[in-house]
Amino acid sequence: MKLRDTPSACPSLWRCLPCPPGELRLDLVLTSGQTFRWWESSPGAWTGVLGGRVWTLRQERERLWYTVYGPEEGDGDGDGSLAQAAAPDGAETEQILRDYFQLDVGLPALYRAWGAADPLFRKVANDFPGVRVLRQDPVECLLSFICTSNNHISRITAMIERLCQAFGRRLCCLDARPVHAFPSVSALTGADAEARLRALGFGYRAKFVSGTARAIAEGLGAEGLRQLRTVPYTEARRVLCALPGVGTKVADCVCLMALDKAEAVPVDTHVWRIARERYGAVLAGKSLTPRAHQEIGDFFRGLWGPRAGWAQAVLFCADLRKGQQPAGSRDQARRSRGQDSCGDKPC
């Protein structure tokens, strides 16, 4: 099936909700290393998987337009199935989007508060409005960020795509591109899961992905992982850090982007450098130790308040998109939150 990327082309298949650019910028949020399942299917239109369904999103002035693709049907050619665009079912789909983008959180007021507390934030934020933190599925977020150590966004995106194709349920085919759901925990617990992941190019991360999937299946379960949303930040991070391949940085990413811990500040060597060079933070030691990680998080929480992780996401996005950097610096910035040199150790 051909993507219907323009609401005016088939208005009955699109719905919209009020959403000014100051509240959300799709082009910034969906490319800033928070998620790896969206692609720009045509200029200004973003297609991806959310809640086990395939969506296309587009912003036009003060509105966020969206359409959802229904179950695939056989195309009769023996080479796969095609998605059928379906009219979104109103309140349910709108609520999924509101929850995913956390649209109940008023962003402009937060920007003003962060800018009042931090002149550096104020200087950067004017050019990067609408950067907000996603509220993702905890299993998908956790397993995805395990893949980010010693990695960069484009490579992580390709790895997650291979993971979904190999282990996930097929959802539909768009413009000859098969689209799959993120794998369930049970799909990644087979005896051959690690070997299959290594064959897909996951390297040492294969044992961490399969090992964490088994640990979840045999312990918390997917629902228990989701219930970490209700416990204090330090407790959620402690539980996550007990899983294979999960260190403080990955745990903080999951706490922030999936478990409602807005105070979590993911720290990699890039953020560590920002804290030292731009903010003059006095930190212990000359390397990113657990103590330094805690001190950096505490420093930014003291500066930005209870949603410090959201403020840090704005600066991270700005640094990622900074066009005036030399190529080498941009390459370094494009490394996602997994850029630490962790080797075989959890990040």
Residue range(s) defining the domain that contains residue 49: 7-97
Establish if 243 belongs to a structural domain: yes
Q: What is the pLDDT of residues 244-285, one digit of tens each?
A: 999 999 999 999 999 999 999 999 887 888 888 888 876 656
d(CA 74, CA 172): 10
* CATH number of residue 50's parent domain: 3.30.310.40
Exposed, middle or buried: residue 90 (CB in 10 Å: 0-12, 13-18, 19+)? exposed
Question: Are 39 and 181 contained in the same domain?
Answer: no
Question: Are 183 and 64 contained in the same domain?
Answer: no
C-beta neighbour count of 77 within 10 angstroms = 8
Question: Are 169 and 283 contained in the same domain?
Answer: yes
What is the mean predicted confidence (pLDDT) over 215-224? 96
Query: Which residue matches tokens 């478990």?
Result: 259
The residues assigned a catalytic role are 249
Instruction: List C-alpha distances in Å: 1 to 126, 174, 342.
Output: 40, 5, 42
Q: Say whether pTM exceeds 0.85.
A: yes
d(CA 72, CA 95): 23
Contact between 52 and 184 (Cβ < 8 Å): no
**End position of a domain, from candidates 35, 66, 97:** 97
Establish if 133 belongs to a structural domain: no
* CATH number of residue 190's parent domain: 1.10.340.30
pLDDT at res. 80: 40
Establish if 256 belongs to a structural domain: yes
Take residue 96 and report the two structure tokens written for it: 């999924």
Q: What is the pLDDT of residues 162-202, one digit of tens each?
A: 999 999 999 999 988 999 999 999 999 999 999 999 999 99
User: How long is the chain?
Assistant: 347
Q: Is the pLDDT score of 323 beyond 90?
A: no
Question: Are 297 and 217 contained in the same domain?
Answer: yes
Question: Are 325 and 207 contained in the same domain?
Answer: yes
Question: Are 151 and 297 contained in the same domain?
Answer: yes
d(CA 259, CA 96): 16
Instruction: List C-alpha distances in Å: 123 to 117, 119, 157, 225, 318.
Output: 12, 6, 31, 38, 11
Residue partners of 238: CB distance under 8 A and separation at least 6:
none
Establish if 345 belongs to a structural domain: no
Question: Are 38 and 186 contained in the same domain?
Answer: no
